[in-house]
Amino acid sequence: MSRTSLLRLPGLTGLVLVVTSLSVLPALAESRETLGWVEEGLVLPEKTRVKFKLDTGALTSSMHAENIERFEKDGDDWVRFTLELDDIQNDEQVETRLERKVVRTTKVRGAGGAEERPVVLMKVCLGRRVHEAQFSLNDRDKMNYPVLIGRRLLEEIGPVDAARTFTQEPRCDA
């Protein structure tokens, strides 16, 4: 019996199919959190709490970094940089010097022209989950949000409600 004919069957079979479908939908919705367009998150491993902007207009996520230096290590491209973030929970500035292997380089075009930025893997906590994702490194001092979450990571995170902000406390065990 085809799926189409099953849906046309009157009586108990059709009712069971509808009830089963309705009972699965809430479980799917609960498996991924709905977040607002601005959320508090943690940059790991330092657990620095900062504001994240969830930006459906950006493809790649971006993180504030200063003093970016490229170098070679074991034949691979690496980058050394300073994360200088204002921790909004403790109202203090956290400065950490990190080294990461460059995953790729991205070209960003804007009003001021085009520039190449290194992309590295970083871990962040958003809601109840830790995400390891690619972040382009850029001086975001003049931006309101030190971390921007792009569509590549949003696919993993789940839906964004553009009318809401600060819907989830970061609660990761990492």
Burial class from Cβ neighbours inside 10 Å (0-12, 13-18, 19+) for residue 77 reads middle
- 103 and 119 Cβ atoms separated by less than 8 Å: yes
Please provide the DSSP assignment of 61-78 as one string.
EEEE-EEEEEEEETTEEE
Domain ranges of the chain: 1-31, 32-165
pLDDT confidence of residue 10: 53
Q: What is the rounded CA–CA span in Å between residue 133 and residue 13? A: 45
Q: Classify residue 58 by its DSSP letter.
A: -
CATH architecture, domain defined by 32-165 = Beta Barrel (2.40)
**pLDDT digits (tens), the chain, 174 positions:** 544 444 454 554 443 333 333 444 444 444 467 899 999 999 998 888 889 999 999 999 999 999 999 999 999 999 999 988 877 888 888 888 899 999 999 988 777 788 899 999 999 999 989 999 999 999 988 888 999 999 999 999 989 999 999 998 999 875
Angle at 168 between CA 148 and CA 43, to 5 degrees: 45
pLDDT confidence of residue 110: 73
Q: Where are the alpha helices (DSSP H) in the chain?
A: 3-8, 12-31, 151-157
With CA atoms as reference, report the closest residue to 82 among 44, 124, 138: 138
Q: pTM score, two decimals?
A: 0.76
Q: What is the rounded CA–CA span in Å between residue 45 and residue 120? A: 15
